[in-house]
Chain A
Amino acid sequence: MSTIVKKLIQLVVVLFFVTFFSFSLLKLIPGDPVDTLKPFATPEQKATIRAELGLDKPFFTQYYNWLKGFVKGDPGRDYSTGEPVKVGIGKALPVTLQLVFYAQIIALVVALPLGILTAYRAGSWFDKITNTSAFGLLALPGFVLGLILIYYLGVQWKILPTQQYVPFGENVGEHFKHMILPAVSLAVGQVAIYMRLLRSDMIQTLQEDFITMAKAKGLTNRRILLRHALRPSSFSLLTVAALNVGALIGGAVIIEAVFQLPGLGLKLVQAVATRQYVALQAYVAIIAVAYVAFNALVDILYVVLDPRIRHARAVA
């Protein structure tokens, strides 16, 4: 248990540096921040904003106040629309999370059987073709695939809608119909990664003595693959899948823009374009904090789930 406490302390330290970094990074923007945030405001309005942001205070006081607001859930507002950032995030975050979640599910569901089968039949034609396609898919950015899918499935054959978001609560069927193309576009690159990873780990596992033992006992191949080989082989797959959440969020930014989904990515891009640095600070910090916290959670889960790690720690 002390490992977990240590990890939590480290998490807090990392979170401190990450928020500090997001805050100070966007403080580097040249010029008077108020002029950039609201160029056409009257002098009185500008004075109000300046006081609101505490721009006359020393840097660390500003950071402290910002962090306090951030932790309390009120990290400023978007001065071009006047909307508080938390309202924007409240609307946008679910969209991004859904997109990333669906993409991850699709990627894993497709990659697992492919990884197992290619490892089982390593060197076969099926293996070669799958591997070559996976290599090709790696070179195909998700947003490019998204555009191709929009053209063929959306515009030419009119099978699926492409440019809208329907909340889950409103209409479940429509929700999935609108999310499938973005999620698939985001998932495809991951499928290639996961599949190749599982395949190479699985090939190694299949050389192990306990697999020979299982064969000697006369177990079916199916049972050996799924019950004996899959679990020990899926360790680095899960590690990478967890780490990849960051890449998925990054990819989601572009996918959201391409499919016009009102997620965090679209907000981020708008904030950059309209130079809303206060909002941008909040979005960047939120994404980074979520990502760090998620990875820490995965880390802790490993300690709980995998006896080998606990044991390694004890020995060390």
Chain B
Amino acid sequence: MPEPLPDSPLDSLSAEAAATGVLPGTPEMQIAAVEAGADRPSRGRFRGLGIGAWLCMGWLVLIIGAALLAPILPLDDPNDTLGGVIANKGFGAGGHLLGGDSSGRDLLSRTIFGARNSLTVGFGAIIIGTVIGGLLGLLAGYYRGRIDTFIVGLLDVLLSFPALVLALALVAVLQDRVSDLLTLVLALGIISIPVLARITRANALVWSQREFVMAARAQGAKDWRIMIREVLPNVLPSAFSIALLGVAVVIVAEAGLGTLGVGLSTQSPTWGNIINDGRSDLTSGTTPHIVFVGAAMVFLTVLALNYLGDVVRARFDVREAGI
């Protein structure tokens, strides 16, 4: 079993978690964790959402709706080359809103079917990460002691690998066992476990000390009941805001792996694969629009998720809730 990890400045930070909250993990998450306090204009908890939040939500609803409805929307088959008539043609060519990719497949259709895959990976991975990471964090924060030491040690081993490097290794392990899609969901789910576990642990540590938990214990409630009924509901909001940011990170990771040609098979439309398909046309200077379409989808979706994650955090943050 790993020793309790170095109680470094980093660790003392993560113990006060929430006060300073420098979390190891992805940039977006770090920022999210770090920025919580001081300089954010204090929004009233029940004040209406700003225009930005509505725009972001609108974009996400649009994308998720299109992804869900893709099979019944009037779109070409995402893998139909259409006889190559719109191969490498730009926006609007032949009545195709986003033009065609290098093999002549309708880019709008690939984008929307790509949203299906990219969002499945994003949300699927984070659901795995939140469930497993949340459980580990809850156990560690509630029981402390040896269990805590063991879980934190485990997380620290996972965190010793740069996330993308670990993801690549996991893809290598999984790719011949399960389907491509499941490989990606599992690999990216596993790398998101430590971050979600840490934030849950930090919060569970604080909440497990509160009076109502002691009261429940004094009344003879079982540990699992206290964890689920008393601690979990209080820990969820912060885990949720980090999970939203996590979806964004996973979408970027999928796009990155797709760009490396390691993700889903190149036939399946994903935003990463669209970018990868268009790369040679971009570097040769013929048709940049293929990469730009994939890039724009990733950018806008990640922007929306980051923004909403921020809004959620600002509303449910443990620190601000008390004020």
Q: Which residues of A contact B37 (CB under 8 A)?
A: 200
Task: List residues of chain A with CB within 8 A of the CB of B163.
Answer: 246-247, 250
Nearest-CB residue, chain B, relative to A199: B39
| B306 and A138 contact, CB distance less than 8 A | yes
CB within 8 Å of A: which B1-31 residues = 2-3, 5-6, 8-10, 12-13, 20, 22, 24, 26-28, 30-31
Q: Enumerate chain B residues within 8 angstroms of A272, measured Cβ to Cβ.
A: 168-169, 171-172, 262
A135 and B306 contact, CB distance less than 8 A? yes
B-contacting residues, A124-177, CB 8 Å: 135-136, 138-141, 143-144, 147-148, 150-151, 154-156, 162-163
Contact between chains at B164 and A192 (CB < 8 Å): no
In the complex the two chains form, is A147's CB within 8 Å of B279's CB?
A: yes
Question: Quick check: B164 and A28 within 8 Å, CB to CB?
Answer: no
User: Which residue of A10, A22, A163, A197 is within 8 Å of B3 (Cβ)?
Assistant: A10
Contact B6 A254 (CB under 8 A): no
**Contact in complex: B9, A17 (CB < 8 Å):** no
Contact at A28–B173, with CB atoms within 8 Å?
yes
**A196-B262 in contact given A7-B6, A138-B27, A144-B299 (Cβ < 8 Å):** no
A203 touching B38, Cβ below 8 Å = yes
User: Taking A135-B306, A155-B282, A257-B260 as contacts, is the C-beta distance between A10 and B5 under 8 angstroms?
Assistant: yes
Residues of B within 8 A of A302 (CB): 8-9
User: For the complex, is A210 an interface residue (Cβ under 8 Å from B)?
Assistant: no
Chain B residues near A18: list those with CB within 8 A: 157, 160-161
CA distance A240 to B22 in the complex (A): 7
Instruction: With CB as the reference atom, state the residue of chain B lying closest to A313.
Output: B7
Q: Kindly identify which residue among B26, B171, B252, B303 contacts A136, using a CB–CB cutoff of 8 Å.
A: B303
How long is the Cα–Cα vector from A174 to B26 in the complex, in angstroms? 33
B156 within 8 A of A: yes
In the assembled complex, the Cα of A89 lies from the Cα of B164 at a distance in Å of 18
User: Which residues in window 202-239 of B have CB below 8 A to A?
Assistant: none
On whether A26 and B173 interact (CB within 8 A), knowing A7-B6, A14-B160, the answer reads: yes
Tell me, yes or no, whether A109 is within 8 Å of chain B by CB: no
Name the CB-closest residue of A to B10: A239
**Are B173 and A141 closer than 8 Å at their CB atoms?**
no
Chain B residues near A269 (CB, 8 Å)?
Answer: 168, 260-262
C-alpha gap A236/B176 in the complex (Å):
42
Segment among B116-124, B127-135, B137-145, B283-291 that sits at the interface with chain A: B283-291
A254–B260 CB distance below 8 A? yes
Residue count of chain B within 8 Å CB distance of chain A: 65
Indicate which residue in A138, A162, A277 contacts B31 across the interface (CB closer than 8 Å).
A138
| B321 interface residue (CB < 8 Å to A) | no
Contact flag A196-B34 (CB < 8 Å), given A13-B2, A144-B299, A288-B165 = yes
Residue B47 at the A interface, CB < 8 A? no
- Pick the contact of B172: A26, A244, A299 (CB < 8 A): A26
A241 to B5, CA, bound (A): 20
Distance between A228 CB and nearest chain B CB, rounded to angstroms: 19
Give Cα A193 to B177, complex, Å: 38
Determine whether A38 belongs to the interface, using a CB cutoff of 8 Å to chain B: no
Q: Is the CB of A280 within 8 A of B172?
A: yes
**Mask of A211-243 contacts with B, CB within 8 angstroms, 1/0:** 000000000000000000000000110011001
**What is the minimal beta-carbon distance from B153 to any residue of chain A, in angstroms?**
7
Q: How far is the CA of A26 from the CA of B303 in the complex (A)?
A: 35
Cα A136 to Cα B303 with chains together (Å):
7
Q: Is A273 an interface residue (CB 8 A)?
A: yes
Q: A239-B22, A247-B26 are in contact. Are A258 and B162 (CB under 8 A)?
A: no
Chain A residues with CB under 8 Å of B8's CB are 7, 299, 302
The interface centre, meaning the residue of A150, A254, A275 with most chain B CB atoms within 10 A of its CB, is A254
Contacts A147-B279, A193-B31: A140 and B299 contacting too (C-beta < 8 A)? yes
A101 within 8 A of partner (CB) = no
Closest chain B residue, CB of each to CB of A6: B6
A190 contacts B by Cβ under 8 Å: yes
* A200 and B35 contact, Cβ closer than 8 Å, known pairs A14-B156, A249-B165: yes
Query: CB distance B256 to A141 under 8 Å?
Result: yes
Using A138-B306, A162-B283 as known contacts, say yes or no to A151 and B6 having CB atoms under 8 A apart. Answer: no
Measured between beta carbons, the chain B residues less than 8 angstroms from A141 are 252, 255-256, 298-299, 302
Contact, CB under 8 Å: B164 / A250: yes
Q: Which of B169, B177, B299, B307 contacts A22 (CB 8 A)?
A: B169
Interface: B60 (CB within 8 A): no
Taken residue by residue from 29 to 69, chain B's Cβ proximity to chain A (1 for < 8 Å, 0 otherwise) reads as: 01100110111000000000000000000000000000000
A-B contact pairs, 16 of them (CB 8 A): A14-B3, A18-B161, A25-B170, A25-B173, A26-B169, A150-B283, A155-B284, A244-B30, A258-B279, A268-B168, A269-B168, A280-B169, A288-B161, A291-B160, A291-B162, A309-B9
12 further interface pairs, Cβ-Cβ under 8 Å (given A147-B275, A163-B283, A244-B27): A7-B6, A14-B160, A26-B169, A28-B173, A29-B176, A139-B302, A189-B27, A240-B22, A250-B165, A253-B164, A284-B169, A291-B162
Residues of chain B having any CB pair with chain A under 8 Å: 2-3, 5-6, 8-10, 12-13, 20, 22, 24, 26-28, 30-31, 34-35, 37-39, 153, 156-157, 160-166, 168-173, 176-177, 248, 252, 255-256, 259-262, 275, 279, 282-285, 288, 291-292, 295, 298-300, 302-303, 306-307
